[in-house]
Amino acid sequence: MNVRIVEVGPRDGLQNERTPIPTEAKVAFIAALLNAGLKEIEATSFVSPKWVPQLADAAELWPLLPPGGLYSALVPNGKGLDRAISVGVSRIALFTAASDAFTQKNINMSITESLGAFREVMETFRSSTPGGFVRGYVSTAFQCPYAGIVEPSEVIRVSSKLLALGVDEISIGDTIGAASPREVRDLTRLLLEEFPAEKIAMHFHDTHGTAIANVDAALELGITAFDSSAAGLGGCPYAPGAAGNLATDDLVYFLERQGLKTGVDQAKLAQASLPILKSLGRPVQAKAQLAELASGE
Ligand code: HMG
Ligand code: MG
């Protein structure tokens, strides 16, 4: 069985980093990820540069992306869509949440307002970009940094609204990495009662070290698309306490050892994030990356 990995390192991994990374270094990072076998790569965000300065170069980055990847970018509103369309983005990701407190802090809108904005974005995108792909994120699907435990019924409600708007898939976000496998199992069962597995991706952060166990829980129920970030970089600037994403290195190791095919070369992947880690002054922390690098010494 094949599993889809959506590499979010260049976007989720970098958005929270204060040290400005030059556009060319981002392009080199993305090229190395592609060369390691990752095909779906969330490359940047067309959000307000005041809110996320690190990704202010989205429009400059886009034309420099190496051929061969399926690149996507976050789009929060009509202005972001216009910027994205002007450089030829054909895969966009809209993002809202299952907690109003979070959407307010993250995009300065309520959930309802965000869905209203997305309706217009979808219409413009579909008419301007035939064959385009749209992902809809549902953040804080388990816990919200501002409002605590989130009801699964709210996740189902927001997911239904996004799918009714015509998004091609939803990505269920454990934004602050607080979920346990039991909670993932419970929510996944509810999601699968409503939507086909092919429409659902899971997006785990690894704050408490439960991300791989959460992947396993979702996999057993039939989910086959997972988001992760090379070296486990990441976090949301508007979600205090959110540590890095599940490391792609750990995810690839786990999936391959479970007999699933990822198409990713673990050794090339371990190397791919080293220059960015160096620029950020961060040590290698992902366990599978550490082990891979040690095995090559
Ligand atoms: P706002 O301040 O309410 O927006 O922000 P506004 O419409 O009032 O505009 C304010 C200024 O921003 C204006 O400029 C606009 O032109 C400009 P000024 O007149 O002051 O010079 N502006 C823009 N500029 C460029 N691109 C745009 C854009 N929009 C407005 N798209 C807004 C509202 C949505 C823009 C803002 O809140 C925002 O950009 N938020 C993004 C925050 C973000 O990126 N968060 C991280 C991603 S979500 C995440 O990490 C979770 C995820 O990983 C899943 C998970 O883990 O759960 C996906
Ligand atoms: Mg995230």
Q: What is the pLDDT of residues 101-121, one digit of tens each?
A: 999 999 999 999 999 999 999
Please provide the average confidence, as pLDDT, over all residues in the chain: 96
Q: Spot the catalytic one: 236, 243, 270, 288.
A: 236
Say how many residues make up the chain.
Answer: 297
Distance 48 CA to ligand 1 centre (A): 4
Pocket test for ligand 1, best of 47, 57, 137 (most atoms within 8 A of CB): 47
Residue 296 is predicted with a pLDDT of 81
Pairing of strands 40-45, 4-7: parallel
291-297, long-range: CB < 8 A, 24+ apart = 291/253, 292/249, 292/253, 292/266, 292/267, 296/267, 296/270
User: How confident is the model over 163-174, as a mean pLDDT?
Assistant: 98
Q: What is the pLDDT of residues 49-92, one digit of tens each?
A: 999 999 999 999 999 999 999 999 999 999 999 999 999 999 99
Ligand in nearest proximity to the CA of 108: 1
Asked if residue 237 has pLDDT above 90, the reply is no
User: Using 50, 70 and 90 to split pLDDT, how confident is the model at 179?
Assistant: very high
Residue 197 is predicted with a pLDDT of 98
Pocket test for ligand 1, best of 48, 83, 227 (most atoms within 8 A of CB): 48
Q: What is the pLDDT of residues 189-231, one digit of tens each?
A: 999 999 999 999 999 999 999 999 999 999 999 999 999 999 9
Residue 69 is predicted with a pLDDT of 98
Collapsed DSSP state (helix, strand, coil) of residue 143: strand
Residue 107 is predicted with a pLDDT of 97
- Annotated active-site residue 144? The verdict is no
Asked if residue 238 has pLDDT above 90, the reply is no
Residue ranges of the domains in the chain?
A: 4-295
Residue 239 is predicted with a pLDDT of 74
Q: Which CATH architecture has domain 4-295?
A: Alpha-Beta Barrel (3.20)
Residues touching ligand 1 (Cβ under 6 Å) are 12, 15, 45-52, 74, 76-77, 79-80, 83, 95, 106-108, 137, 139, 173, 175, 203, 205, 236, 238
Contact 201, 172 (CB under 8 A): yes
Rounded CA-CA distance 266/262 in Å is: 10
Distance 76 CA to ligand 1 centre (A): 6
Nearest ligand 1 atom, CA 245:
56
The Cβ-side half-sphere exposure at 55, using a 13 Å CA radius, reads: 27
Rounded CA-CA distance 92/74 in Å is: 6
DSSP letter at 221?
Answer: T
Which is more confidently placed, 202 or 235?
Answer: 202
Q: What are phi and psi of 228, to 5 degrees?
A: -160, 170
Collapsed DSSP state (helix, strand, coil) of residue 94: strand
Distance 75 CA to ligand 1 centre (A): 9
Q: What is the pLDDT of residues 12-21, one digit of tens each?
A: 999 999 999 9
Rounded CA-CA distance 75/203 in Å is: 17
Residue 180 is predicted with a pLDDT of 98
Distance 9 CA to ligand 1 centre (A): 19
Write the DSSP assignment of 156-178 as a string of letters.
Answer: HHHHHHHHHHT-SEEEEEETTS-
User: Using 50, 70 and 90 to split pLDDT, how confident is the model at 243?
Assistant: confident
Crossing angle for the helix pair 181-194 and 152-165, nearest 10 degrees?
40
Contact 13, 33 (CB under 8 A): no
DSSP letter at 141?
Answer: S
Query: Rounded to a whole number, what is the distance in angstroms from the first to the last CA of the chain?
Result: 32
Residue 236 is predicted with a pLDDT of 74
User: How confident is the model over 36-45, as a mean pLDDT?
Assistant: 98
12: left (phi over 0), alpha (psi -120 to 50) or beta: alpha
Rounded CA-CA distance 95/106 in Å is: 9
DSSP letter at 58?
Answer: H
Collapsed DSSP state (helix, strand, coil) of residue 7: strand
* pTM for the whole structure: 0.98
Percent of the chain with pLDDT over 70: 99
Contact 170, 267 (CB under 8 A): no
Q: What is the pLDDT of residues 140-164, one digit of tens each?
A: 999 999 999 999 999 999 999 999 9
